[in-house]
Homo-oligomer: A and B are copies of this chain.
Amino acid sequence: MGPSDRMLALLCCLANQGRPMTVKSLAELTSQPVSTAYRHLRQLLAWGMVSEREGGTYAPGPQAVRLQQGFEQRNDLLQWARPVLTELTDITQESSALLMAVRDHALCVEMIDSPQPLRCCYHRGQVQPLLKGASARALLAFMSEEEREMALTLRTEAERDEAQAGLESIRAEGVAISLGEIDQGVWGASAPVFNGRGRLKAVISVMAPEARTRQRTAWLAEQTRQSAQRLGELLE
């Protein structure tokens, strides 16, 4: 692992914490000497990638705003995802979201909330380990072999086995379904979005309280699958 990797590890670790961090804690989390972490943070500071907060703590910096803007602009996947998700939530009356694999996490990049009083909520920027839950399992099932290796390298043996079990049936069905794997009483379905070259770009997921899904799990799963497929057909 080179210096650039150490720096990116710092940056991503910082983003995942969700609160300002001290140099020491970041150094520990990324397994590097304090002096090295410090030097890299000062460098990131100069580029506006991180900003200083009170008491020698650091948080992501203003350059993140520019970067996110660049990510969203001219991004076919995101542009088309919004209407597709809106329609899916319209039909199902449940929350829907678009999630992408980023290293060993599933990241929510777009979502639409259910209009119902009792609803499951995604948040833009929210991450989940690529282990449990419909979204994570759909991403794992349809990503390439190497990507899956990458995503699971840091996990324990037990976690790896659990995460890889039953991926074949997900591939066969074209949908992953979960019940209470992450949050109690939450049902979820997730289907892959492929681009024109058959490459996995994201998954579309629907999340609902279990009570509302009992009579229509198959229908919800099918709606999710169809939305994901339609989105894929809109991409090059």
Contact = CB atoms under 8 A, between A and B. Distances in A.
A67 interface: yes
Interface stretch (A4-12, A159-167, A181-189): A4-12
A2 interface: yes
A3 B5 contact: no
A46 interface: yes
A169 interface: no
Contacts of A212: none
Contacts of A100: 48, 62
A20 B74 contact: yes
B62 A71 contact: yes
A208 B153 CA distance: 55
Contacts of A102: 47-48, 61-63, 66
A111 to B, nearest CB: 11
A144 to B, nearest CB: 13
B7 A109 contact: no
Contact of A66 (B4, B59, B107): B107
Interface in A123-144: 123-125, 127
Contacts of A67: 11, 15, 49, 60, 64, 67-68
Given A47-B8, A69-B124, A102-B48, A59 B40 contact: no
Given A20-B74, A46-B103, A71-B60, A65 B109 contact: yes
Interface residues of A, number: 51
A43 interface: yes
Interface string A22-48: 000000000000000000100110111
A73 interface: yes
Interface in A68-105: 68-71, 73-75, 100, 102-103
A14 interface: yes
A54 B103 contact: no
Contacts of A59: 70-71, 74-75
A47 B54 CA distance: 28
20 contacts: A3-B3, A4-B7, A8-B49, A11-B49, A15-B66, A18-B73, A20-B74, A46-B103, A47-B103, A48-B100, A48-B102, A51-B71, A59-B75, A62-B109, A63-B102, A65-B71, A65-B124, A65-B125, A66-B107, A68-B125
